[in-house]
Chain A
Amino acid sequence: MPNTPRYARGQVIEIINSVIDKIDTDKSVTREVFLHLSELAQIIDSLKKDISSVQPGHVKNSHIPDATDELGAVVTATAEATNKIMTICEDIEAISETVEGQPGEDIRTKVTQIYEACGFQDITGQRIRNVVGTLQVIETKIDKIMETLNQTVGLKISDEKFEKVVSIDDEKSLLNGPQMPEKAVTQADIDKLLAEFDNQ
Protein backbone atom coordinates (compact mmCIF):
# COMPACT_ATOMS: atom_id res chain seq x y z
CA MET A 1 0.00 0.00 0.00
CA PRO A 2 2.33 2.77 -1.26
CA ASN A 3 0.12 5.78 -0.37
CA THR A 4 -0.58 4.79 3.26
CA PRO A 5 1.01 7.36 5.54
CA ARG A 6 3.55 5.81 7.88
CA TYR A 7 3.82 6.87 11.49
CA ALA A 8 6.51 6.28 14.03
CA ARG A 9 5.48 4.26 17.12
CA GLY A 10 5.60 7.35 19.27
CA GLN A 11 3.29 9.24 16.92
CA VAL A 12 0.76 6.36 16.92
CA ILE A 13 0.72 6.32 20.75
CA GLU A 14 0.19 10.08 20.72
CA ILE A 15 -2.81 9.73 18.33
CA ILE A 16 -4.38 6.96 20.43
CA ASN A 17 -3.95 8.97 23.63
CA SER A 18 -5.54 11.98 21.96
CA VAL A 19 -8.58 9.87 20.91
CA ILE A 20 -8.92 8.46 24.46
CA ASP A 21 -8.75 11.97 25.91
CA LYS A 22 -11.47 13.10 23.50
CA ILE A 23 -13.67 10.14 24.44
CA ASP A 24 -13.21 10.91 28.15
CA THR A 25 -14.17 14.56 27.77
CA ASP A 26 -16.74 14.58 24.96
CA LYS A 27 -19.75 12.23 25.46
CA SER A 28 -21.14 12.77 21.92
CA VAL A 29 -17.83 11.59 20.46
CA THR A 30 -17.96 8.61 22.81
CA ARG A 31 -21.40 7.61 21.54
CA GLU A 32 -20.35 8.04 17.92
CA VAL A 33 -17.19 6.02 18.39
CA PHE A 34 -19.07 3.23 20.16
CA LEU A 35 -21.68 3.15 17.35
CA HIS A 36 -18.91 2.78 14.79
CA LEU A 37 -17.19 0.13 16.85
CA SER A 38 -20.46 -1.75 17.23
CA GLU A 39 -20.99 -1.60 13.46
CA LEU A 40 -17.45 -2.83 12.93
CA ALA A 41 -18.04 -5.73 15.33
CA GLN A 42 -21.21 -6.69 13.42
CA ILE A 43 -19.32 -6.61 10.12
CA ILE A 44 -16.57 -8.82 11.56
CA ASP A 45 -19.16 -11.19 13.00
CA SER A 46 -20.98 -11.39 9.69
CA LEU A 47 -17.67 -11.98 7.89
CA LYS A 48 -16.80 -14.80 10.28
CA LYS A 49 -20.18 -16.42 9.60
CA ASP A 50 -19.74 -16.06 5.83
CA ILE A 51 -16.29 -17.60 5.95
CA SER A 52 -17.48 -20.41 8.21
CA SER A 53 -20.35 -21.19 5.83
CA VAL A 54 -17.80 -21.73 3.04
CA GLN A 55 -16.38 -24.46 5.29
CA PRO A 56 -12.70 -24.03 4.48
CA GLY A 57 -12.04 -27.08 6.66
CA HIS A 58 -13.83 -29.23 4.09
CA VAL A 59 -11.70 -27.75 1.31
CA LYS A 60 -8.49 -28.49 3.20
CA ASN A 61 -9.43 -31.84 4.75
CA SER A 62 -11.52 -33.37 1.96
CA HIS A 63 -11.81 -31.62 -1.39
CA ILE A 64 -8.11 -31.00 -1.99
CA PRO A 65 -6.93 -34.45 -0.76
CA ASP A 66 -9.71 -36.09 -2.78
CA ALA A 67 -8.69 -34.18 -5.90
CA THR A 68 -5.06 -35.18 -5.38
CA ASP A 69 -6.07 -38.83 -4.95
CA GLU A 70 -8.17 -38.75 -8.12
CA LEU A 71 -5.30 -37.28 -10.11
CA GLY A 72 -2.96 -39.93 -8.76
CA ALA A 73 -5.44 -42.59 -9.86
CA VAL A 74 -5.45 -41.07 -13.36
CA VAL A 75 -1.69 -41.37 -13.62
CA THR A 76 -1.75 -44.97 -12.39
CA ALA A 77 -4.55 -45.99 -14.72
CA THR A 78 -2.98 -44.41 -17.81
CA ALA A 79 0.38 -45.97 -16.99
CA GLU A 80 -1.20 -49.43 -16.67
CA ALA A 81 -3.11 -49.04 -19.92
CA THR A 82 -0.06 -47.76 -21.76
CA ASN A 83 2.06 -50.65 -20.53
CA LYS A 84 -0.60 -53.11 -21.69
CA ILE A 85 -0.66 -51.49 -25.13
CA MET A 86 3.12 -51.65 -25.37
CA THR A 87 3.25 -55.31 -24.33
CA ILE A 88 0.79 -56.14 -27.09
CA CYS A 89 2.83 -54.07 -29.57
CA GLU A 90 6.00 -55.89 -28.61
CA ASP A 91 4.22 -59.17 -29.26
CA ILE A 92 3.01 -57.90 -32.65
CA GLU A 93 6.53 -56.77 -33.46
CA ALA A 94 7.88 -60.24 -32.71
CA ILE A 95 5.21 -61.80 -34.94
CA SER A 96 5.98 -59.30 -37.71
CA GLU A 97 9.52 -60.68 -37.89
CA THR A 98 7.97 -63.86 -39.33
CA VAL A 99 6.13 -61.92 -42.02
CA GLU A 100 8.33 -61.45 -45.07
CA GLY A 101 8.66 -58.44 -47.28
CA GLN A 102 6.64 -55.23 -47.31
CA PRO A 103 3.73 -56.48 -45.16
CA GLY A 104 6.16 -57.23 -42.35
CA GLU A 105 7.72 -53.80 -42.78
CA ASP A 106 4.30 -52.14 -42.79
CA ILE A 107 3.34 -53.85 -39.55
CA ARG A 108 6.53 -52.69 -37.87
CA THR A 109 5.91 -49.13 -39.07
CA LYS A 110 2.43 -49.16 -37.55
CA VAL A 111 3.78 -50.55 -34.29
CA THR A 112 6.33 -47.74 -34.19
CA GLN A 113 3.54 -45.22 -34.61
CA ILE A 114 1.73 -46.75 -31.65
CA TYR A 115 4.90 -46.47 -29.54
CA GLU A 116 5.12 -42.79 -30.49
CA ALA A 117 1.48 -42.21 -29.55
CA CYS A 118 2.02 -43.90 -26.17
CA GLY A 119 4.26 -40.97 -25.28
CA PHE A 120 1.04 -39.18 -24.31
CA GLN A 121 1.22 -40.83 -20.90
CA ASP A 122 4.41 -39.03 -20.06
CA ILE A 123 2.97 -35.65 -21.03
CA THR A 124 -0.33 -36.15 -19.18
CA GLY A 125 1.58 -37.38 -16.13
CA GLN A 126 3.63 -34.20 -16.05
CA ARG A 127 0.60 -31.98 -16.52
CA ILE A 128 -1.14 -33.75 -13.66
CA ARG A 129 1.93 -33.30 -11.50
CA ASN A 130 1.67 -29.55 -12.20
CA VAL A 131 -1.99 -29.55 -11.18
CA VAL A 132 -1.16 -31.35 -7.93
CA GLY A 133 1.49 -28.73 -7.28
CA THR A 134 -1.09 -26.00 -7.82
CA LEU A 135 -3.49 -27.69 -5.41
CA GLN A 136 -0.74 -27.76 -2.81
CA VAL A 137 -0.19 -24.04 -3.31
CA ILE A 138 -3.93 -23.42 -2.84
CA GLU A 139 -3.91 -25.52 0.32
CA THR A 140 -0.97 -23.58 1.71
CA LYS A 141 -2.67 -20.27 0.94
CA ILE A 142 -5.89 -21.40 2.64
CA ASP A 143 -3.84 -22.36 5.69
CA LYS A 144 -2.23 -18.92 5.70
CA ILE A 145 -5.53 -17.10 5.36
CA MET A 146 -7.13 -19.14 8.13
CA GLU A 147 -4.12 -18.65 10.40
CA THR A 148 -4.40 -14.90 9.90
CA LEU A 149 -8.15 -14.95 10.53
CA ASN A 150 -7.64 -17.04 13.65
CA GLN A 151 -5.08 -14.59 15.02
CA THR A 152 -7.03 -11.44 14.14
CA VAL A 153 -10.69 -12.37 14.69
CA GLY A 154 -10.47 -15.75 16.40
CA LEU A 155 -11.86 -17.75 13.48
CA LYS A 156 -10.71 -21.36 13.66
CA ILE A 157 -10.61 -23.90 10.83
CA SER A 158 -12.28 -27.16 11.75
CA ASP A 159 -10.72 -30.58 11.29
CA GLU A 160 -13.89 -32.17 10.11
CA LYS A 161 -14.03 -33.77 6.69
CA PHE A 162 -16.70 -33.41 4.08
CA GLU A 163 -18.88 -36.49 4.08
CA LYS A 164 -21.02 -36.83 1.01
CA VAL A 165 -24.39 -38.37 1.69
CA VAL A 166 -25.42 -40.80 -1.02
CA SER A 167 -29.10 -41.64 -1.14
CA ILE A 168 -31.27 -43.43 -3.66
CA ASP A 169 -33.78 -40.63 -3.11
CA ASP A 170 -31.29 -38.02 -4.30
CA GLU A 171 -30.35 -38.74 -7.90
CA LYS A 172 -27.63 -36.09 -7.95
CA SER A 173 -25.90 -37.77 -5.02
CA LEU A 174 -25.69 -40.95 -7.12
CA LEU A 175 -23.36 -39.27 -9.64
CA ASN A 176 -19.86 -39.86 -8.31
CA GLY A 177 -17.83 -41.23 -11.18
CA PRO A 178 -15.33 -44.10 -10.84
CA GLN A 179 -14.41 -45.16 -7.33
CA MET A 180 -10.84 -45.15 -6.06
CA PRO A 181 -9.34 -48.62 -6.75
CA GLU A 182 -8.82 -49.47 -3.08
CA LYS A 183 -12.45 -48.67 -2.23
CA ALA A 184 -14.04 -49.96 -5.42
CA VAL A 185 -16.92 -52.41 -5.38
CA THR A 186 -16.01 -55.26 -7.73
CA GLN A 187 -18.09 -56.79 -10.49
CA ALA A 188 -18.32 -59.94 -8.34
CA ASP A 189 -19.77 -57.88 -5.45
CA ILE A 190 -22.34 -56.32 -7.80
CA ASP A 191 -23.27 -59.68 -9.30
CA LYS A 192 -23.79 -61.03 -5.78
CA LEU A 193 -25.97 -58.05 -4.86
CA LEU A 194 -28.07 -58.46 -8.01
CA ALA A 195 -28.43 -62.15 -7.29
CA GLU A 196 -29.73 -61.28 -3.83
CA PHE A 197 -32.40 -59.08 -5.42
CA ASP A 198 -33.40 -61.89 -7.74
CA ASN A 199 -33.71 -64.30 -4.83
CA GLN A 200 -36.06 -62.04 -2.87
Chain B
Amino acid sequence: MAVDKNMNVLVVDDYQTMIRIIKNLLKQLGFNNVDEATDGTAAYEMLTMKKYGLVISDWNMEPMSGLDLLKKVRATSGNDNITKVPFIMVTAESKTENVIAAKQAGVNNYIVKPFNAETLKTKIASVIGEF
Protein backbone atom coordinates (compact mmCIF):
# COMPACT_ATOMS: atom_id res chain seq x y z
CA MET B 1 0.00 0.00 0.00
CA ALA B 2 1.37 3.39 -1.01
CA VAL B 3 2.40 5.70 1.80
CA ASP B 4 0.06 8.63 2.27
CA LYS B 5 2.35 11.61 2.74
CA ASN B 6 -0.63 13.71 3.74
CA MET B 7 -0.91 11.77 6.98
CA ASN B 8 -0.49 13.58 10.25
CA VAL B 9 2.89 13.21 11.88
CA LEU B 10 3.56 14.13 15.50
CA VAL B 11 7.06 15.24 16.54
CA VAL B 12 7.75 15.29 20.27
CA ASP B 13 10.89 16.92 21.74
CA ASP B 14 11.61 19.39 24.52
CA TYR B 15 14.21 21.18 22.36
CA GLN B 16 12.51 23.49 19.89
CA THR B 17 15.56 23.40 17.63
CA MET B 18 15.31 19.65 17.24
CA ILE B 19 11.59 19.89 16.45
CA ARG B 20 12.42 22.40 13.76
CA ILE B 21 15.16 20.22 12.28
CA ILE B 22 12.93 17.17 12.11
CA LYS B 23 10.03 19.17 10.67
CA ASN B 24 12.27 20.59 7.94
CA LEU B 25 13.64 17.15 7.09
CA LEU B 26 10.11 15.72 7.01
CA LYS B 27 9.07 18.55 4.73
CA GLN B 28 11.91 17.63 2.37
CA LEU B 29 10.59 14.06 2.37
CA GLY B 30 7.13 15.32 1.46
CA PHE B 31 5.41 15.20 4.86
CA ASN B 32 3.79 18.59 5.39
CA ASN B 33 1.18 17.84 8.06
CA VAL B 34 3.51 17.82 11.03
CA ASP B 35 2.40 18.74 14.54
CA GLU B 36 4.64 19.20 17.51
CA ALA B 37 4.64 18.71 21.27
CA THR B 38 7.31 19.44 23.85
CA ASP B 39 6.65 16.57 26.22
CA GLY B 40 4.84 13.25 26.49
CA THR B 41 1.80 14.61 28.31
CA ALA B 42 1.04 17.20 25.64
CA ALA B 43 1.76 14.63 22.93
CA TYR B 44 -0.68 12.07 24.34
CA GLU B 45 -3.37 14.75 24.57
CA MET B 46 -2.85 15.47 20.87
CA LEU B 47 -3.02 11.77 20.02
CA THR B 48 -6.46 11.56 21.61
CA MET B 49 -7.71 14.46 19.48
CA LYS B 50 -6.57 13.47 15.99
CA LYS B 51 -5.40 10.41 14.07
CA TYR B 52 -1.66 10.30 13.50
CA GLY B 53 0.15 8.05 11.05
CA LEU B 54 3.51 8.39 12.79
CA VAL B 55 4.99 9.61 16.07
CA ILE B 56 8.65 10.66 16.24
CA SER B 57 9.63 11.23 19.85
CA ASP B 58 12.60 12.16 21.99
CA TRP B 59 13.16 10.16 25.18
CA ASN B 60 14.46 12.62 27.78
CA MET B 61 11.56 15.00 28.52
CA GLU B 62 9.71 16.28 31.54
CA PRO B 63 7.15 15.72 32.98
CA MET B 64 6.50 12.68 30.76
CA SER B 65 9.42 11.02 28.98
CA GLY B 66 9.28 9.52 25.52
CA LEU B 67 9.42 6.03 27.01
CA ASP B 68 6.47 6.76 29.30
CA LEU B 69 4.58 8.20 26.34
CA LEU B 70 5.27 5.04 24.35
CA LYS B 71 4.09 2.82 27.19
CA LYS B 72 0.94 4.88 27.65
CA VAL B 73 0.24 4.77 23.90
CA ARG B 74 0.64 1.00 23.72
CA ALA B 75 -1.45 0.50 26.86
CA THR B 76 -4.37 2.54 25.52
CA SER B 77 -7.42 0.39 24.97
CA GLY B 78 -10.40 0.96 22.72
CA ASN B 79 -8.58 3.11 20.19
CA ASP B 80 -6.29 1.34 17.77
CA ASN B 81 -5.38 4.69 16.18
CA ILE B 82 -3.45 5.38 19.35
CA THR B 83 -2.41 1.90 20.48
CA LYS B 84 -0.93 0.87 17.16
CA VAL B 85 0.47 4.19 15.96
CA PRO B 86 3.93 3.73 14.40
CA PHE B 87 6.39 5.12 16.94
CA ILE B 88 10.02 6.02 16.32
CA MET B 89 12.26 7.07 19.20
CA VAL B 90 14.87 9.70 18.24
CA THR B 91 17.19 10.19 21.16
CA ALA B 92 20.71 10.70 22.44
CA GLU B 93 20.19 7.75 24.81
CA SER B 94 22.30 5.04 23.22
CA LYS B 95 22.96 2.33 25.80
CA THR B 96 21.90 -1.20 24.98
CA GLU B 97 19.55 -1.13 27.95
CA ASN B 98 17.74 1.88 26.47
CA VAL B 99 17.15 0.16 23.16
CA ILE B 100 15.93 -2.99 24.92
CA ALA B 101 13.58 -1.01 27.14
CA ALA B 102 12.16 0.85 24.16
CA LYS B 103 11.73 -2.34 22.18
CA GLN B 104 9.99 -4.02 25.09
CA ALA B 105 7.71 -1.02 25.38
CA GLY B 106 6.74 -1.44 21.73
CA VAL B 107 8.86 1.02 19.76
CA ASN B 108 8.93 0.45 16.00
CA ASN B 109 12.34 1.91 15.40
CA TYR B 110 15.13 3.74 17.22
CA ILE B 111 17.35 6.54 15.92
CA VAL B 112 20.35 7.78 17.88
CA LYS B 113 21.19 11.50 17.83
CA PRO B 114 22.96 13.04 16.04
CA PHE B 115 21.39 11.58 12.92
CA ASN B 116 21.29 12.48 9.26
CA ALA B 117 18.46 12.88 6.78
CA GLU B 118 19.17 9.53 5.12
CA THR B 119 18.87 7.67 8.42
CA LEU B 120 15.59 9.41 9.22
CA LYS B 121 14.19 8.49 5.80
CA THR B 122 15.33 4.86 6.05
CA LYS B 123 13.91 4.35 9.52
CA ILE B 124 10.59 5.97 8.63
CA ALA B 125 10.36 3.83 5.50
CA SER B 126 11.08 0.70 7.51
CA VAL B 127 8.11 1.51 9.74
CA ILE B 128 5.45 2.90 7.40
CA GLY B 129 6.63 1.55 4.04
CA GLU B 130 8.83 2.77 1.19
CA PHE B 131 8.11 6.18 -0.26
Contacts and interface: CB of A to CB of B under 8 A. Distances in A.
Interface of A: 79, 82-83, 86, 89-90, 93, 108, 112, 115-116, 118-123, 125-126
A8 to B, nearest CB: 45
Contacts of A125: 15
Interface in B50-95: 60, 92
A79 B17 contact: yes
A125 B115 CA distance: 16
B78 to A, nearest CB: 35
B92 A126 contact: yes
Given A116-B116, A123-B92, A83 B20 contact: yes
B28 interface: yes
B116 A83 contact: no
Nearest to B93: A126
A125 B16 CA distance: 11
A112 B28 CA distance: 9
Interface size class of B (residues with CB under 8 A): 10 to 19
A126 B60 contact: yes
B21 interface: yes
A119 B115 CA distance: 8
Interface of B: 13, 15-18, 20-21, 24-25, 28, 60, 92, 113-117
Contacts of A86: 17, 20-21, 24
Given A79-B17, A82-B17, A86-B20, A120 B25 contact: no
A121 B115 CA distance: 13
A79 B20 CA distance: 11
B17 A115 contact: no
B25 A115 contact: yes
Nearest to B60: A126
Nearest to A126: B92
Contact of A119 (B16, B18, B28): B18
A90 B115 contact: no
B15 A108 contact: no
Contact of A90 (B15, B16, B24, B60): B24
Nearest to A129: B60
B65 to A, nearest CB: 13
A126 B20 CA distance: 17
Contacts of B114: 116, 119-120, 122-123
B41 to A, nearest CB: 19
